[in-house]
Amino acid sequence: MDDKRRRFEAQVLPHLDAAYNFARWLAPAPGDADDVLQEAALRAFRAFDALRVSDVKGWLFAIVRNCHFTALKQRQRRSQVPLPEEHDAVDGEAMIADTPDPETLAIQLDQARTLDQLMQALPCEYREVLTLREIEDLSYREIASVINAPIGTVMSRLARARALLKGHWLEKVEGAPRAVR
């Protein structure tokens, strides 16, 4: 096996599970995430020579994210659905995704499933910062570099995402509509 492959296997492949989990939270349909992961792995391999970052994991996340958005645009173009407009993070409530509607989620589902669905109901911008911060434990700076946005945006999205998730959780589990903080 040649040197490049060996380095790639040692440095990039260990992060494949994390990359896949991230892809699954970006593109909820498993088939889509599978394609995104394969494409991302290939792109990562091709770009590997030029890699000069120390944060391999964040670099791989950024590639997964680019592949996701490229695939999403292709799917949307194919199905003739117009692209959604770019939303501003400040306009939080308007960004709640239309499917699946949190109100229609079955109430009796167990906690994990409920949490999965509540997460799924959040807009992509919020799912990705939550996954990167809470599950992958990336710093603000690392997240900013993955999503290619200023740290201030990371912080405001994170705050909004957490508040929305918490608010929906309280509504769902405790049945009490409360002010989203």
Partner 1 sequence: MRVQAYFDGEVDAVSAVEIERHLERCAECRELQRHLSQTRTALRRDLSYHRVPPALAARVRDALADEPVPVAAARERLRPLRLPRLRPFWSGALSGAGLSAIAAALALFLWLPPRTDAVVDDLMSAHLRSVMSTHLIDVVSSDRHTVKPWFAGHTDVSPTVADFDSQGYKLIGGRAEYLARQRSAVLVYQHGAHLIDVFTWAADGTAARGFNEVTRSGYQLLFWRQDDLEYCAVSDTGRDELQGLARLIQGIR
Stretch in the footprint of partner 1 (CB under 8 A) among 68-76, 77-85, 94-102, 112-120: 112-120
CA-atom Rg of the chain in angstroms: 18
Q: Is 139 in the site for partner 1 (CB under 8 A)?
A: yes
Does residue 21 interact with partner 1 by CB under 8 A? yes
Distance between CA atoms of residues 149 and 123, nearest Å: 17
What residues contact residue 80 under an 8 Å CB cut-off, 6+ apart?
Answer: none
Task: Give the Cα separation of 175 and 34 in Å (integer).
Answer: 36
* Contacting residue, 106, 112, 176, 179, with partner 1 by CB under 8 A: 112
- CA 144/CA 140 separation, integer angstroms: 6
- The structure tokens listed for 179 are 């002010």
107 near partner 1, judged by CB under 8 A: no
Among residues 13, 17, 1, 3, the alpha carbon closest in space to that of 49 is found at: 3
Rounded Cα distance between 53 and 111, Å, is: 39
Site residues (CB under 8 A) for partner 1, limited to 48-67: 49-52, 54-58
* Binding test (CB under 8 A) with partner 1, winner from 89, 130, 132, 147: 130
Among 42, 84, 100, 101, binds partner 1 (CB under 8 A): 42
Binding interface with partner 1 (CB under 8 A):
2, 4-5, 7-8, 10-11, 13-18, 20-21, 24-25, 33-34, 37-38, 41-42, 45-46, 49-52, 54-58, 111-112, 115-116, 119, 130, 133-135, 137, 139-140, 155-156, 158-159, 162, 165-166, 169, 181
